[in-house]
Structure 1
């Protein structure tokens, strides 16, 4: 089966909402997610997608910035691959595409957060060469 990796066009950002809902367990309404994604695309954000034929089956948000400790950095966010496509090496292929894509844009480092209970992702990111540098804290204002 052939897969296509590409950046989702801004006008098609709504396509990511069903996958984000699966990732986060419908914690936020579709309407709020739509509003937030339209704001995000105005704030140094892109979303990469995995397509099987015309169907979006995986996503990965990309936030771009320059950080004092890492230089030009891309932060990977809300990585999700549909359950039916897991365990086939697709995540590795997707990340290889993302590495090449972001290096081609001049970025020199990558970082991410993952939920502490998502053990499968921890193993994946370790195998991809990521190291734990600290904790991610969150406070709702």
Structure 2
């Protein structure tokens, strides 16, 4: 199989909503996700995707910033690969692509958050040599 990894064109951002909806197990409506993505795409955000021919099968948002403790960093967000494509090394290929893309843009670190209950992702990130740096806290206003 030959997969295409690329940055999604901003005007096509709505294409990722169904995949991110699955990632969030329907807790956030597609309408809310669409509104949020239309705001995100005009910030320091890009959306990396995976295509299998014309079928969108994977997504990862990429937030770009400079942090005092890590320098220029990119944060993969809402990483999701269609269930039918898991277990084939595609996640590793996707992250290799993200690492190379980030380096080419001059970034020196990658950090991310993952849901506490997403045990499969924990194993994946440990295997990719990510270290736990701290806790992520959230307070809704």
Q: Indicate the residue corresponding to 1:8 in structure 2.
A: 8
TM-score (norm 2): 0.98
Q: Secondary structure at the match of 2:137?
A: coil
1:93-118 Cα distance to aligned partner (Å, 9 max, x none): 00000000010000000000011111
CA positional deviation for 1:30: 1.6
Give distance in 1, aligned partners of 2:118 and 2:39: 27
Tell me, in whole angstroms, the C-alpha distance in 2 between the residues paired with 1:36 and 1:114.
19
Q: Distance in 2 between matches of 1:137 and 1:37?
A: 22
Q: What is the TM-score normalised by the length of structure 1? A: 0.98
Instruction: Give the whole-Å Cα distance in 1 for the aligned partners of 2:134 and 2:32.
Output: 30
Runs of 4+, deviation exceeding 4 Å = none
Number of residue equivalences: 141
Q: How does 1:39-58 map to 2 (within 5 A)?
A: 39-58=39-58
Paired with 2:36 and 2:123, the residues of 1 have a C-alpha distance of 30
List alignment gaps of at least 5 residues for structure 1: none
Matches within 5 A, 1:85-104: 85-104=85-104
Residue of structure 1 equivalent to 2:24? 24
CA shift digits 1:2-31 (9 cap, x unpaired): 100000100000000000010001112222
